[in-house]
Amino acid sequence: MRYREPVFRPPSEARSYLLHVTYGCTHNRCTYCAMYLSKKFEVRPLDEVLEDIEEASRQMPDTRKVFLLDGDAMSLSTKRLVPVLEALGEAFPYLHRVGAYANAVSVLSKTDEELAQLRELKFSIGYLGLESGDPETNAKIVKGSSIEEQIEAVRRAQAAGIKMSVMALLGVAGRERSREHAIATGQVFSAMDPRFASCLTVTPVPGTPLYADLEAGRFQLLEPDETLEELRLIVEHTHVTGTIFRANHASNYLPIGGRLPADRERLLQTIEAAQRGEISLRPESLRGL
């Protein structure tokens, strides 16, 4: 099992077998993202992928979850993904699910039949970074797919049985568009109706355009109370049928989570209590930054 560092995976894939099927990200231009700046996008040769699966099946025969690396494994054609998923199914008798980061354009490049075929082969969770539902912010952070494309991608994947986990970034719109960003993000979560939704807090990383903007005074980081207000607005404007909502990432000031719509009032009350100073926020030293 060979890795080309750095390697990233969602927190919920902590126990998964991580398998490179690509290196880097097809897009690699989001202004806040430094994850794959050191890697040029490449498709990994199939024979190498199959060798790794064979080795993993010897070392970890009880594997139940697999996460396909790197930043947009769904960009692989169905023709490339199917032999990988088939090999995983043969190698791991207890295989329960396969997941990957999934950009909207990559999901939309597949037909409904192809998505259903991938689901049949246990590809059952995709992680999509919406970051903001605000079209102006979406353009500014160079997300690479429109809000409409992202909504359609989530809805089509889920219609095929692939659960989607959608992430938003508190503070990514800066101070000026904070309110528009938060309201629109809640509205887009509503339109997507994803199985999982989460909020992280933006952390400008040296080497990224966002960091350069911060240094030059073109971008302002939000204060903790402003970040809480974004979180409150997002929850208030999210109207979904059954979503597990989390804002407990290490980057967040107030770790909360629950089910929407069932826990809406509790979540809002917790955020409002924090806004009144009745709940302590995570200090910088514990925010994992």
Tell me the closest approach of the beta carbon of residue 25 to ligand SF4, in angstroms.
Answer: 3
List 127's β-bridge partners, or say none. Answer: 101, 165
Write out the binding residues for ligand SF4, residues 65-94 only, by CB under 6 A: 71
| Stretch of 33-41, 108-116, 149-157, 173-181 contacting ligand SF4, by CB under 6 A | 33-41
Nearer to ligand SF4, 10 or 129 (CB): 129
Indicate whether 36 belongs to the interface with ligand SF4 (CB under 6 A).
yes
The percent of the chain in helix, strand and coil, each rounded to the nearest 5, is: 40, 20, 40
Cα distances (Å, whole numbers) of residue 137 to 41, 165, 193, 216: 25, 20, 21, 19
Cβ closest to ligand SF4, residue 56 vs residue 74: 74
Give the contact letters, 119-148, x = binds to ligand SF4 (CB under 6 A), - = no. Answer: ----------x-------------------
Which of 18, 21, 25, 233 binds ligand SF4 (CB under 6 A)? It is 25
| Residue 94, SS3 per DSSP | coil
- β-pair partners for 258: 245
- 99 phi and psi, to 5 degrees? -135, 170
CB of 78 to ligand SF4, least distance (A): 20
Of 103 and 124, nearer to ligand SF4 (C-beta) is: 103
Amino acid at 218: R
Beta carbon of residue 227, minimum distance to ligand SF4 (angstroms, whole number): 20
Spatial strand order in the sheet of 65-69? 17-20, 65-69, 97-101, 123-131, 163-170, 196-201, 243-247, 256-260
Whether 240 and 197 have beta carbons less than 8 Å apart is answered as yes
* Nearest distance, CB of residue 67 and ligand SF4, angstroms: 14
69 beta partners? 20
Among 28, 57, 117, 208, binds ligand SF4 (CB under 6 A): 28
Binding site for ligand SF4 (CB under 6 A): 25, 27-30, 33, 35-36, 71, 103, 129
